[in-house]
A and B are shown apart, each in its own frame.
Chain A
Amino acid sequence: MVSFLEFEKPVAELERRINDLRTLSDAGDVDVVDDIIRLEKKLANLLESTYGGLSAWQKTMVARHPQRPHLEDYIGGLIEEFTPLAGDRGFAEDPAIIGGLGRFRGRSVVVLGNQKGRDTESRLKHNFGMARPEGYRKAIRLMQLADRFNLPVITFVDTSGAYPGIGAEERGQAEAIARSTQTCLQLGVPLISTVVGEGGSGGAVALASGNRVIMFEHAIYSVISPEGCASILWRTSDHAEDAANALKLTAQDLKKLGVIDRIVGEPLGGAHRQPTDAVTSLGDAIAESLQELQAMSADELRRDRREKFLSLGSAGVA
């Protein structure tokens, strides 16, 4: 059962009516097949018009949808022989970032991503995908492992941000993020970063400074959450919707600004409606991006990344 977002109420209503008719039809009481076909067509149109014109705030809701595919779906659907690797070798294992070895379409790779968790228990275990320094230090360790064995790195970013807590600060959250970003930029192997749900601030950059940055159609990527921005600039989080618009955090905005390279379309009504299709489309985009980078040497890959990020400034300053 799909759970509905506020703006999807008309969709929910229509789906309920279709289900009711189906029940009637199954009971064999009346012939309602034509009605069902008509309503299903209407539903498709409604989904298309609703999802074709989502506002930045609505996209934020979709990006955070509790049923949106999560890391386990991407790993499950795209990575064979996944072998999780744990720990930062300094202090702890951070389950907010999962990483390991595996095979992507036949090719050995290192995979990293945020794990948000699905139910209360797993959300708590994975700290809602908010990493502590150890998560970033594990990421650094695995990226360097990839570099040594000439394996491409694929990251799946889905986090509201790095965890703001006493222990995290004490153990150098800022330094861990900075080094993780630096490691992304130093790699002599291809790094494909995908923002699949929320890309929240520095905690996302630390895994997303890749040769190619790919985003889902309804994913968001932002310097600060709309709520956080609103509470600072408008002095109340009630203005989150205004902040979402002002921040230009949608995949479409980011593509226009040259920050990301590619947008992957989602199934009608969002990735959570057809998770398998969404995962496959993303896999295709990753494969194509890897293909583009295949012939590049380590130096060329580094240069490619440098030029990409240096160019994200004023014209002529790079």
Chain B
Amino acid sequence: MNWMRDYVRPTLRAVFKRSDDSEEVKWHSCKKCGQMIYRRDFVAAQYVCPQCDHHERIGPQERFDALFDEGVYQLIDMPRGMDDPLKFRDKKKYADRLKESRSKTDRQEAISAATGKLAGQRTVIAVQDFAFMAGSLGVGAGDAFLVAVREAIAENAPFVMFTAAGGARMQEGILSLMQMPRTTVALELLREAGLPYIVVLTDPTTGGVTASYAMLGDIQISEPGALIGFAGPRVIEDTIREQLPEGFQRAEYLLEHGMIDMVVHRHELRDTLAGIISLLIDQRRAGGDLPLLANASSGA
């Protein structure tokens, strides 16, 4: 029952949105080049700076709105899973950190998923939200990944995963680590169903997330400039006591080193995804081998 999420919260949000008229929210300052951008233009440009092309981090809703045909989609219901399995506490209780993230993002967990049509093709898209505890992968996010994959299989639909995470969620200890093999098993099920798995790496994707489902796509796409790696840059610097080369662990660097298929601008992303999916599922849609020669169908 998502009455709270689907009705009450959006309504409250709409009420508070009126304050958007203030000067402060009217303008966005690019985090990279500092350019002042009229917010409405920034949103229309899918949060890409018109001056320097910096791709601002965005959340699930922005992705779904931009990708699904006419912005129409259905959120996939996520189970209300176990919270704080270890009763973890550092300087602060993990339970409180979770609560904060939930009220800040209006989301239950770091991964949200939706089903809808992408250029006419039924597709399941899941998005990891960096704003939710750095997108970290814990049991709840693992649950969400699994549920999204199961939905794709049930709907006979390709699965597109947008990754963004600092890594595994430390506060869930070993259970967060176990989401690496768990999500990998989910991908085995998808593979057996013959459905494409497309990964879009977004800024930043590191740690146990990169070392599991984020690197196992049939196709690996990245947004420009995204930081992608196993170890974070600071950890590496501390280990080797050397400064890292320019552009290290950025999308373009990974492309150059053969780790991804392509770097795609956010404005081209929808068309690229639609094209790849259509090419990959061609045989599946045709229900068998397509004749390659014009006369093959005549039974010669």
Q: Which residues does A use to contact B, with CB under 8 Å?
A: 162-166, 168-175, 177-179, 181-182, 184-186, 201-202, 205-206, 209, 221-224, 229, 232-234, 239, 242-243, 246-249, 253-254, 257, 259, 305-306, 309-310, 312-318
List A contacts of B88 (CB < 8 A): 246-247
Q: For residue B259, which residues in chain A have a CB less than 8 angstroms away from its CB?
A: 172, 175
Is the beta-carbon distance between B230 and A162 smaller than 8 angstroms? yes
A173 and B179 CA atoms in complex are apart in Å by 18
- On whether the beta carbons of A185 and B244 are closer than 8 Å, the reply is no
Known: A181-B212, A247-B170. A310 touches B177 (CB 8 A): no
Contacts of B236 in A (CB 8 A): 164-166, 169
Tell me whether A178 and B215 are in contact in the complex, defined as CB-CB below 8 angstroms, given that A166-B236, A202-B180 are known contacts. yes
Chain B residue nearest to A133 (CB atoms) is: B230
Interface pick from B9-17, B25-33, B68-76, B140-148: B140-148
Chain B residues within 8 Å of A, Cβ to Cβ: 79, 81-82, 85-86, 88-91, 139-140, 142-143, 146-147, 168, 170-182, 184-189, 207-208, 210-216, 228-231, 235-236, 239-240, 242, 244-245, 248-249, 257-259
Q: Which of B181, B208, B210, B240 has the most CB of A within 10 A?
A: B181
Give the distance in Å from the alpha carbon of A165 to the alpha carbon of B143 in the complex.
32
In the complex, what residues of A have CB within 8 A of residue B214's CB? 174, 178
Of listed B171, B214, B231, residue having the most chain A CB within 10 A: B231
Q: Is the CB of A314 within 8 A of B82?
A: yes
Among candidates A171, A246, A306, residue contacting B89 with C-beta atoms closer than 8 Å: A246
Could you show 8 A-B contacts with beta carbons less than 8 Å apart? A165-B240, A174-B230, A182-B187, A184-B181, A185-B188, A229-B170, A233-B171, A312-B139
Q: What chain B residues lie within 8 Å of A181 (beta carbons)? A: 180-181, 184, 211-212
CA distance A82 to B35 in the complex (A): 64
The listed residue with most A CB atoms (<10 A of its CB), out of B172, B208, B235, B249, is B208
B173–A247 touching, CB < 8 Å: yes
> A257 CA to B172 CA in the complex, in Å?
11
> Which of B81, B91, B178, B230 sits near A309, CB closer than 8 Å?
B178
When distances are taken between beta carbons in the complex, the residues of chain A under 8 Å from B208 are 201-202, 205, 223
The reply to whether B90 and A246 contact each other, CB–CB distance below 8 Å, is yes
The answer to whether B177 touches A222 (Cβ under 8 A) is yes
Report the separation of the CA atoms of residues A224 and B181 in the bound assembly, to the nearest whole angstrom: 16
Complex: how many Å from CA A175 to CA B216? 7
Question: Does B89 lie within 8 Å of A312, measured CB to CB?
Answer: no
**Bound form: Cα–Cα A166–B245 in Å:** 9
Question: In the bound complex, how far is the Cα of B170 from the Cα of A222, in angstroms?
Answer: 9
A206 to B230, CA, bound (A): 13
Residue of A nearest to B205 (CB): A174
CB pair B181 A164 closer than 8 Å: no
With a CB–CB cut-off of 8 A, which chain A residues contact B146? Answer: 310, 313, 317-318
Residues of A within 8 A of B170 (CB): 223-224, 229, 232-233, 247
In the complex, which of the residues A169, A173, A175, A223 contacts B168, with contact meaning CB atoms closer than 8 Å? Answer: A223
The listed residue (B140, B174, B228) touching A221 by CB distance below 8 A is B174
On whether the beta carbons of A259 and B175 are closer than 8 Å, the reply is: yes
Known contacts A178-B211, A223-B208; is A209 also within 8 Å of B181 by CB? yes
Q: In the complex, what residues of B have CB within 8 A of residue A175's CB?
A: 215, 259
Pick from B182, B228, B242, B244: contact of A310, CB below 8 A. B182
Partner of B185, one of A177, A185, A224, A315: A185
Expressed in whole angstroms, the minimum distance between the Cβ of A91 and any Cβ of chain B is: 12
With A177-B212, A239-B90, A248-B173 known, 17 other A-B pairs at CB within 8 A are: A164-B236, A166-B240, A169-B229, A169-B236, A171-B257, A173-B211, A174-B210, A174-B211, A174-B215, A182-B187, A202-B211, A221-B174, A224-B168, A247-B174, A259-B178, A309-B181, A310-B186
